[in-house]
Structure 1
Amino acid sequence: MNFTGTSDSPINFTTSAGHSNSINDLMTITAKDSNVFSNSGTDNIEVNFNFTQPSDGNGNVQGSGTEDIAFFGLFDLASGNITWNNPGTITFADGAILNVTLTPVTMPTTFGTTDSVQIGATFKDVQDPKSTPVPEPMSLALLGTGIFGLGLVGRRPASKSA
């Protein structure tokens, strides 16, 4: 039993903590059994996610897939399902965290030993990027001290020449 997957397009969405984004047709998973005389098979599946924006992030969702094949003389009938150990976690270099939940699927009964199904996903933002505080109070204090110092220098009495 071999499972392969392809994604049709890049994933693009904007989110904030507590919000979710769903993508109905995230990828196509194909199950192919190389032995047409086998009755069934099970294989482990892992979907890896690698993000480049807004910062590097990666994670995965694991699951398993089964396929049942009935051999009827000149043709085969194949069916099966894929279940996921949801949710998977994607962590980003900037501290953001997404949970990804993949949809379980039942492969339709088809002729032959190959089935393909569309997998959907929901991405939930569980933690926004960690922000670095901007030191504004210190900047304003330094600016105020500088202006005060200039005021003192400007008010100093001029020296008399003899």
Structure 2
Amino acid sequence: MKKVLSFITFITLFNCNSAAQKKESSEKETFAITKTEAEWKEQLTAEQYYILREAGTERPFSSPLNKNYKKGVYHCAACNTPLFKSEHKFDSGTGWPSFDREIEGNVAYGTDTKIGYTRDEEHCATCGGHLGHVFNDGPRATTGKRHCINGDALIFVATEE
């Protein structure tokens, strides 16, 4: 009987989920720029809408911005917020534009578990548009980060040489 009681106590303790484990925020994150889904669909191309509003991913090597080596700033395609500088861009070989750092304060982060494991998701801090993900396999000589960004989430604004 003692063994059965110990077993039940053990199972109960390790199978209970605390409130912290079940925590789901009922508060929706708010952004400076908010629009209805219809307004976003009217403003964005189908590809941009899929990525920015539905957290989609473009095919690797499909964005012309992947091999863009001009000087300038990469802005959010939805709200024109400057997100990444060209001097922080590098060729990661993954098929998506990659940067070793963001423009501080303009990129926000969340957690993405859609594919079965946890990834750090990036979105525009102004409009909430999904940009891509950040990984810890970037250039060690700089930040060690690889901001892997969908080209369709970006607009490149060239600066004068």
TM-score (norm 2): 0.26
Q: TM-score, normalised by structure 1?
A: 0.26
Richer in helix (by share): 2
Structure with the higher fraction of residues in strand conformation: 1
